[in-house]
Each structure stands twice: as C-alpha cells, then as structure tokens.
Amino acid sequence: MADYRQLGLTEEDLKEMYRLMLLARRLDERQWVLNRMGQAPFAIGCQGHEGAQIGISWALKPGHDIVLPYYRDLGVVLRMGMTPLEVMLDFFAKADGPSSGGRQMPSHYSHPQKGIVTQSSTVATQTLHAVGMAYAAQQLGEDRVFYTSIGEGSASQGEFHEALNWAGIYKLPVIFVVQNNQWAISVPLQKQMAVDRVSLRAAGYGLTGVTVDGLQVLEVYRVAKEAVERARRGEGATLLEVMVPRLTGHSTDDDPRTYMTQEEMEALKERDPLGHFAAFLKEQGVISDEELAAIDREVRQEVDRATDEAQKAPDPKPEDLYTHVYATPIEL
Ligand SMILES: Cc1ncc(C[n+]2csc(CCOP(=O)(O)OP(=O)(O)O)c2C)c(N)n1
C-alpha cells in the first residue's frame, strides 16, 4: 500500500479509518442477525465494501461536500457523521429515523444536515440527482464536491450514461463511484456488459476513468483525493470504479447458494478488507493486537447501545401515515 505519510495521513487518521470500517461491519452484521431473529423485515449490507467506502469518503469534507449514496454505503454515511443510533432508528423504521421517519426502505440514507441525499429504490437515479445538484453548485460558485455511487449492474441503466454525459459537457464537480462486486443480485458482470471495466466508459464522455482495488484502502484514498481535488479546481468529474467482494447474499431476501458455488463464496473471504487493513496497520507499526481488540470491544458496545436504544424508540404514529403524501390532509 502507498506510504500514508506521503498522502498527508497521520496514525490517528488510519486508526479512525479502521474504526469506521469496523463500525460499518459490526452494524451490518447486527442488522442481519436481527433480521434472522424476525425483528426486522429486511437488511442489505456493505460487507466487503467497507475499505473502498472509507478510502473514498475520507477524501471528502463532511459538513461541506454532499453524498448521494446507494444502499450499500453504510461506511460512507458513517464518515459523513450519521451515528449508529440514527442508523438503527432507520433500520427499525422508527419515528425519529432521520432518513424518512420510517417511510423508506432500510438503507435509503438521508440526512439533510449532514449532506446526505436519499436515493430512490430505482437504481442509478441518484447519479442524475448528483449532476443536477452539482450543476446548481457550479452556477452558484460553490466549491462543493458531489459523491454518488452505484453497483456495476446499475451502470447498465440509461440514467447513469445521461449523468456521465452531462457531467462531461459541463465539467461538473462529481465523483461517480461504481462499487464493482461482480454481481447484480444473481446476474454476473459478463451478462451486464461486454467490457471488463466500467471505468472504460469514462472516455466516451470526456471524463477521467480509474479502476482501483478496494482492498488497497490507501490507494483508494489517493485516487479519490486526486478526483476530489480535480473536481474542486473546476476540472470536472471522475468515474472511479472500486473492485470489491460482496461477502453476503445480495440482501436478506437472497440465497447466493442458488447461483454461486461454495468454493466461490469461500474464496471471497480472502478479499475481506478488514483483515487486510488491520494486517497493514500492524506491519506499519501503527497499531497493536491489544489496540485492535480494544477497538473491537468499543465498537461492539456502541452497536449494542444503538440497537437497544433504537428498539425502545417510538414507532411512527398511524395518524402520520399520509404526512408528505397528500397536499390536503386525509381523515383516517
Ligand atoms: C431500475 C431498477 N431495476 C431493478 C431493480 C431491482 N434491483 C435492486 S438492486 C439490484 C441489483 C443491483 O446490482 P448492482 O448495481 O451491481 O449493485 P450491488 O447490489 O451488487 O452492489 C436490482 C436489479 C431496481 N431497484 N431498480
């Protein structure tokens, strides 16, 4: 991996990056367990994508830049300042869930104060929203950067191509991230596109295109930092593809054993970014086994507290069912 000092990172930065990756993982694992216990209807996770998500979002300025994430972006929204409690309130569809007060599906993150814009369930539509917002920011003379992300399967959607085209014409400050885990539910990459890199498409729209291994967290950060700096200088958008493993099924409603072999699923575990990043930090003398264990203990406690508090929080009131749905209130 790249030399972290040359990238302007400190040991504290690296530890915080690791902690956020682990927090995303432990929250995600908890959501799957709660689903299997029958306490939540649906979970869709980030497991395997955490290194890519933290590497990229570390290059953004929380509180200033805007993210239009997709459902796997738990790491990104934590980096932007969403708390574990907020994540779990949303997960249980509670009244105080910041994303929608219990109206949206889980993992459709939204938090206006923290610069997080909700996605529609229709994949890739957020890429056009990012372009529209970036165009407005450009007209206003702001130096905000807009992050938006999708999976490689969603790169087949027309919206994505329209978004790239518009961003190219107007040199918009957008980072288009494609988290390439090779699968769109059960459809493999080869059935989605005739080239093996989504980033190749950048050339057709006049954008910079890069593919980077999501296991190499610092390399991901380096490339993202360059993209963010380019965007802030007014030099346009980047299509940044990160290669990641999907360590779970597509969602809790999916059974990957129907389309993947046991060997294929086992092999993916070799590409778990958490183990790789922990090993790198140890090798660099940044962290010890004791510190890693302490971070894990603290993160597990944080997840326990968030889960307990969110479970006890009030559900939305039935009389609020039609709020924001009809202009004229409906009598129930
Ligand atoms: C336009 C549209 N078509 C189909 C779906 C159903 N759907 C939800 S997620 C998904 C797969 C997306 O795969 P990919 O973009 O590769 O992302 P991944 O989940 O693998 O990270 C599909 C087909 C949808 N939500 N929207």
pLDDT digit string (tens) for 160-177?
Answer: 999 999 999 999 999 999
**pLDDT at 1 exceeding the cut of 80:** no
Mutate which of 73, 119, 126, 154 to test ligand 1's pocket (most atoms within 8 Å of Cβ)?
154
- 291 alpha carbon – ligand 1 mean position (Å): 38
pLDDT tens digit string along 53-99? Answer: 999 999 999 999 999 999 999 999 999 999 999 999 999 999 999 99
Q: Mean of the per-residue pLDDT values for the chain?
A: 96
Which pLDDT does position 332 carry in this prediction?
64
Distance 187 CA to ligand 1 centre (A): 10
3-state secondary structure the chain: CCCCCCCCCCHHHHHHHHHHHHHHHHHHHHHHHHHHCCCCCCCCCCCCCHHHHHHHHCCCCCCCCEEECCCCCHHHHHHCCCCHHHHHHHHCCCCCCCCCCCCCCCCCCCEHHHCECCCCCCCCHHHHHHHHHHHHHHHHCCCCCEEEEEECHHHHCHHHHHHHHHHHHHCCCEEEEEEECCEECCEEHHHCCCCCCHHHHHHHHCCEEEEEECCCHHHHHHHHHHHHHHHHCCCCCEEEEEECCCCCCCCCCCCHHHCCCHHHHHHHHHHCHHHHHHHHHHHCCCCCHHHHHHHHHHHHHHHHHHHHHHHHCCCCCHHHCCCCCCCCCCCC
> Could you tell me which CATH number the domain at 11-29+40-307 has?
3.40.50.970
Q: What is the percent of the chain where pLDDT is above 70?
A: 99
In this predicted structure, the answer to whether residue 2 has a pLDDT above a threshold of 80 is no
Q: What is the pLDDT of residues 243-280, one digit of tens each?
A: 999 999 999 999 999 999 999 999 999 999 999 999 99
Q: According to the model, what pLDDT value does residue 320 have?
A: 87
Q: What's the whole-number mean pLDDT along residues 218-222? A: 98
Write down the pTM of the prediction.
Answer: 0.97
Domain ranges of the chain: 11-29+40-307
Q: What's residue 250's pLDDT?
A: 98
Find the 159 Cα to ligand 1 centroid distance in Å. 13
Which residues does a 6 A CB cutoff place in the pocket of ligand 1? 72, 121-123, 150-154, 157, 179, 181, 183-185, 246, 250
Site to substitute for ligand 1 among 123, 190, 193, 198, most atoms within 8 A of C-beta: 123
How confident is the model over 11-69, as pLDDT tens digits? Answer: 999 999 999 999 999 999 999 999 999 999 999 999 999 999 999 999 999 999 999 99
Q: What is the pLDDT of residue 330?
A: 73
Residue 189 confidence class, pLDDT cut points 50, 70, 90: very high
